[in-house]
Structure 1
């Protein structure tokens, strides 16, 4: 226990003495003192004396003997210590409840400086930051002398005792003890020969931290805490390198964009690649080595960390110089001319400040930036002005504050709305000449290249800048001027690189050259779009864009309005859709007519028959079940055909449900279609929740998605179609919401999710029945169970079920307005859209007690969690819409916060627009 004694009107802090007891006495005392603290049945004096006795025992060297206990004893100690920890935390919280505004002062006996702290601050941290702290602590260990002296004017003895106990008690768990650095025994400091020990024979093992400014820019605590929720790694795993740059330190992904947002980084941390990398011991060791190195560097050296990435245990990769650097040579590399020139060049491009802390980086080289020179100049002027004012008012002894330096003028509206000049990177793609395939951004390099004929009739490309000859090959020439030759690289302008098809920003020309332009997303593009996709360059903002005219339209500013202004306005398509009540009703009737036509035409039936016929080559008894929008009544002629293929006893999820089985079935199906010319563009998507095979049926010009898992999707389509038949207004209602969503362009919210939200709104208001209610009305004892989930066995007629619902009495425009008003105010942070119950379910019920507090109607979900391959409902999404039957499936699991805000904003504006003033 820390004691405070009166001595010359000062309280003097003493550390506890060293006591020794055997293991049994420790355990016995620990049990007794813990019970006494927890029960709190004694008076204050007794409790205080007991805590003092316990602290003397526990802080003695006998604590080391706890390490020698056996497994059973260790479990007992662990339980008792955890119990004690909770009790002490509660007691500290109560003691500090009324002391939040008090402050305490300590006086250093060496320099007589007064150190003032508040009661809500950690006094131990404040005292150990004092420059005489180590000397005082060492004197105490060796001589038992006094430490910091506390002024009596600040508080009484009891308050001081409580505060010092709290402060040093916290620090005991946060910081390690003094550790001897010599080879002698650790107990020498307490053996009586302490006075012979040199002050340098021990060190403080305080945890290292990044410089405060570096950490706030590169590793902001709020953002890093959100990332740590997913990867569960104590070290920082994602590094913000600049306003538009970030790097993942474990899966080596480079994230570039117009702005690095919180949702982008947390979304990356939620990805499977990042999670898998976080489980590798080699990756974690590399990450720890990386941070340990930079934590031991000076703050100005730490600012250059934004350029480096972990490469292996002893080496780093400099993303600025594209070099592999050994850890021992990192500081030398930072001071090298190459690295220094790149930093200066990056600073000089004032419209391209891609990295943080560049002013401090230049300060390491002794270079002052213009901003620092301006600040120095302003400070000098302010000091002169202050002196002048002080002389004028010296009689009154009132000094005026220096004026705040004028802010830099913001960019003019003409600069903000500058016209973007976009050109093709390669003007003559059909040409076979190598020079015609050099991008426009490298046009300055062409003057150094000439074609030279050889005696054998072949040709080479001669580079006058590098004095070498190159093979007359496009790839070799382009790599030479963009990557291989430093002389050429220095002449190239810095561009951003964006593939609109993949929605990926690449880092530099090297990253662009490695980009996979034959990835799945490129292959899955519509055939009508592929011929129009090429590489463009925006010379205004120095951006390379791979896409088509739609991609360029997204890049260009619209009507000179800012993003915030555009987000507060409805898209023109929505305004036209909601132009008047008559137009809206006519459009709804037109959409219903198109959907009914899709239901009646034989295309779906014919395509299914042909698919079944082709698949029987590999699966003799297969059967095809169509589902999706074309079957439910909310489709169009352009809608894809979704098909479930039952290769034998698979409809109820009893066979071939493993991912490996699914891949095997898809491979066999590909073989069946490969010999048939009626099917093109076969592409397997095996990473989806339900693996599918995409293909195009040529005779009917119809895109098809084939799945091989189970028939629950077919039951979902039956339920949706049944709801449209029960409530006549549901079909135009859902179709209009579907068309409205096509103008809003909400990411990760598909047509089926919007249909379920529409059905849910009708359920909430009594115009449709919940899934559970429908089960009970039809026949709850004769249910269809697919893969463990209960579907509906439709045994009653529609007329019988219609007796239990209300028919919507108004027109569809009013229903739309009510729908938009409802979801514009919906609390997605707190509730889950649940069509099973026809009402909202609190998110917290899915988390508490492993879901045991959920309504009894969700027992199927709890049973699924106890199975061999459980799937938890994804609550991390900012929007939760539960599937009607598969209760572990969140239909909007990938939705981000910005999408929810945009959706609710568009709902609010749409409801207002539907007033039809």
Structure 2
């Protein structure tokens, strides 16, 4: 932040003033005779501040020098530290016509405790304003208006769709297939064990690779997902990470911060499955590291499906690229749309219901992670009575067109995408009664852990049955997805020789 002064430009970083106020309050609290206090909200904020500072410093900020320390003609004139003492804070309340409530935190808290007394102390006339709406009213108005608008496909997505489909697979498939197994993964695994083993000397440590790179639908910019099993926790299930798991991740984070071979990118502690995002510098591969085995189990299932029915892998590579070009990845993950492809092909009798594979394996010893069965019968498709299609360009294009058309017309309000059952018209209202007894027993003991069905879009994880993988999708996001699916299906319907002429920009 820079402030203009007569004949002079003074420099001050925007964080300087905030840090000054924070230190003032911190020193004031430390100088009191009473012992310091801590609560969950403060602990969370202080942790986020420390993580934020680390992230800021990790970006290698440019060091700005004052004129007296810089080379002639360089450097800047700083706002002097003593000048900051002349700037005082004043707190106002936006709910009370921006009424000034004081210059101290105590007065601001007192105002909130009294629940906004005298919201309009000066009896200012309140002008009715048609645009002054509550957050909820604005949201409802946006949703209502959105229903009458069709969002056009982004140009990058259109370019991919109207182009020759062979070019997509010519570029993407060889890379995706090669990335399933490369020597760099062994180097990463060895370096990770070497880094973390000293921190957990009395506990066995093992690294499991999973995610889009391993299943064969990733690209060179994809993260490598890693599950680190410290102390034989593979079979332990946590709907949300426990304090012990978070503490273990915090302990791991310190090793990445001190290492010359790893660069810490972020520590996402508040997620359902907390992860450490880091980069392995010798290979240049970014890694997402967690302490949850479910991702590895899901990857095993996808690898089996892709190898048994190659059409699935080709379709998933295409829709993953489509999802990225449509900029929908913030709400719909690669894993989510992969499950949608699997469900669609189940309805075409080209893939088995996941429940069937698990029932087939019930005669043997089931492998459990918490209440969930994570292994399955890896039978050939001939044994299952299913046809393995040859993935030619016309076949792939035809199934892709039908896939987008199907989900453009899907009734998301009443039905869910359910690869576990693998049948059409699985009703949201009835799904919980259709699931295995293990689900009912688990939810009975943990009522807060049932699958989130009151969402605009429900796609059920076929292994962790209480997980709606699209729970983050909003109504607006779903409508955009549906619009894009409809337009994509129509574009894929056109003969390839006419695509560029009919849809040229």
Same topology, TM > 0.5: yes
1:596 aligned partner: 177
After TM superposition, give the deviation of residue 803 of structure 1 in Å.
Answer: 4.1
The correspondence for 1:739, drawn from 308, 321, 327, is 321
Task: Specify the SS of the correspondent of 2:344.
Answer: helix
CA distance in 2: counterparts of 1:764 and 1:795, whole angstroms: 20
Q: Per chain length, whose mean CA-contact separation is higher, i.e. which structure has more relative contact order (CA < 8 Å, sep 6+)?
A: 2
Task: State the alpha-carbon separation in 2 of the partners of residues 688 and 799 from structure 1.
Answer: 38
CA distance in 2, matches of 1:585, 1:568: 27
Structure 1 residues 655 and 623, CA, compared in 2 at 3 Å: closer, same or farther?
Answer: farther
Mapped to 2, the partners of 1:356 and 1:645 lie a distance apart of 48
1:829 lines up with 2:413 in the alignment = yes
Of the three residues 399, 406, 428, the one matched with 1:843 is 428
**Residue aligning to 1:865:** 443
Deviation at 1:683, TM superposition (A): 2.9
Q: Distance in 2 between matches of 1:868 and 1:564?
A: 37
The residue that corresponds to 1:609 in the other structure is 190
- Do the aligned residues in 1 keep the contact of 2:308 with 2:388 (CA within 8 Å)? no
Contact 1:783 1:790 survives alignment (8 Å):
yes
Residue of structure 1 equivalent to 2:354: 771
| Equivalent pair of 2:316/2:341 in contact (CA under 8 Å) | yes
The count of aligned residue pairs is 379
Determine the C-alpha separation between the residues in 1 that align with 2:403 and 2:176.
22
* Residues 814, 654 of structure 1: alpha-carbon distance in 2 compared, 3 angstrom cutoff: closer
Contact 2:157 2:322 in 1 (8 A): yes
Whole-angstrom CA distance in 1 between matches of 2:338 and 2:484: 17
Match of residue 395, structure 2, among 799, 808, 811: 811
Report the Cα distance in structure 1 between the residues aligned to 2:206 and 2:133, rounded to whole angstroms. 60
Checking the alignment, whether the CA contact within 8 Å between 1:767 and 1:808 is kept in structure 2 is: no
Deviation at residue 706 of structure 1 after TM alignment:
1.0
In structure 1, the partner of 2:132 is 355
Deviation at 1:693, TM superposition (A): 1.5
Q: What's the offset of the Cα at 1:792?
A: 2.1
- Which sections of structure 1, spanning at least 5 residues, go unmatched? 1-272, 274-308, 348-352, 358-561
Q: CA deviation at 1:672?
A: 2.6
Q: Secondary structure at the match of 2:200?
A: coil
Larger Rg: 1
Report the CA distance shift for 1:612/1:656 in structure 2 as closer, same or farther (over 3 A).
farther
> In structure 1, which of residues 720, 732, 757 is the aligned counterpart of residue 302 of structure 2?
720
Is 1:645 paired with 2:232? no
Residue of structure 2 equivalent to 1:107 = none
Matches within 5 A, 1:13-28: none
Distance 2:117 2:448 in 1: 48
SS at match of 1:649: coil
Q: 1:820 to 1:805 in 2, by over 3 A?
A: same
Higher alpha-carbon deviation: 592-601 or 877-886: 592-601
Measure how far apart 1:680 and its partner are: 1.3
Residues 1:715 and 1:780: Cα distance change in structure 2 (over 3 Å): farther
Give, in angstroms, the shift of residue 598 of structure 1.
1.1
Contact preservation (8 Å) 2:257, 2:264: no
Q: Secondary structure at the match of 1:807?
A: coil
Aligned counterparts of 1:895 and 1:703: Cα–Cα separation in 2: 26
What do residues 126-164 of structure 1 show as CA deviations (whole Å, max 9, x unaligned)?
xxxxxxxxxxxxxxxxxxxxxxxxxxxxxxxxxxxxxxx
Render the CA deviation track for 1:6-40: whole Å, top value 9, x for unaligned.
xxxxxxxxxxxxxxxxxxxxxxxxxxxxxxxxxxx
Alignment of 1:47-58 (within 5 A): none
Q: Which residue matches 1:669?
A: 252
| Structure 2 portions without partners, runs of 5+ | 1-40, 42-90, 103-110, 135-144, 496-505
SS at match of 2:417: strand
Match of 1:587 in 2: 168
Q: Distance in 2 between matches of 1:624 and 1:745?
A: 32
| DSSP-derived class of the 1:842 partner | coil
Distance 1:329 1:584, change over 3 A: closer
Contact 1:680 1:695 in 2 (8 A): yes
After superposition, what is the alpha-carbon deviation per residue over 1:76-95, rounded to whole angstroms, capped at 9, x for unaligned? xxxxxxxxxxxxxxxxxxxx
1:318 aligns with 2:318: no
Alpha-carbon distance between aligned partners in 2 of 1:668 and 1:882, rounded to the nearest angstrom: 33
After superposition, what is the alpha-carbon deviation per residue over 1:419-462, rounded to whole angstroms, capped at 9, x for unaligned? xxxxxxxxxxxxxxxxxxxxxxxxxxxxxxxxxxxxxxxxxxxx
What's the offset of the Cα at 1:780?
4.0
**Does the 8 Å CA contact 1:769/1:805 hold for their aligned counterparts?**
no
Query: Is the alpha carbon distance of 1:713 and 1:318 closer, same or farther for their aligned partners in structure 2, counting shifts above 3 Å?
Result: same
TM-score (norm 2): 0.68
Q: CA deviation at 1:674?
A: 3.0
Cα distance, 1:631 vs. partner? Answer: 0.5
Contact 1:823 1:904 in 2 (8 A): yes
Alpha-carbon spacing, 1:331–1:630, altered in 2? closer, same or farther (3 Å): closer
Deviation at 1:334, TM superposition (A): 2.0
1:915 and 2:500 equivalent? Answer: no
Q: Give a deviation string over 1:174-223, Cα, whole Å, max 9, x none.
A: xxxxxxxxxxxxxxxxxxxxxxxxxxxxxxxxxxxxxxxxxxxxxxxxxx
1:760 positional shift: 0.7
What's the counterpart of residue 876 of structure 1? Answer: 454
| CA distance in structure 2 between the aligned counterparts of 1:700 and 1:649, rounded to whole angstroms | 28
Indicate how the Cα distance of structure 1 residues 789 and 322 shifts in structure 2: closer, same or farther if over 3 A, else same.
same
Counterparts of 2:440 and 2:267, CA distance in 1? 32
* Alpha-carbon distance between aligned partners in 1 of 2:239 and 2:475, rounded to the nearest angstrom: 37
Q: 1:807 to 1:354 in 2, by over 3 A?
A: same
1:698 lines up with 2:281 in the alignment: yes
Are 2:315 and 1:730 equivalent residues in the alignment? no
Counterparts of 2:284 and 2:335, CA distance in 1: 23
CA distance in 1, matches of 2:364, 2:333: 34
Compute the RMSD of aligned alpha carbons.
3.2
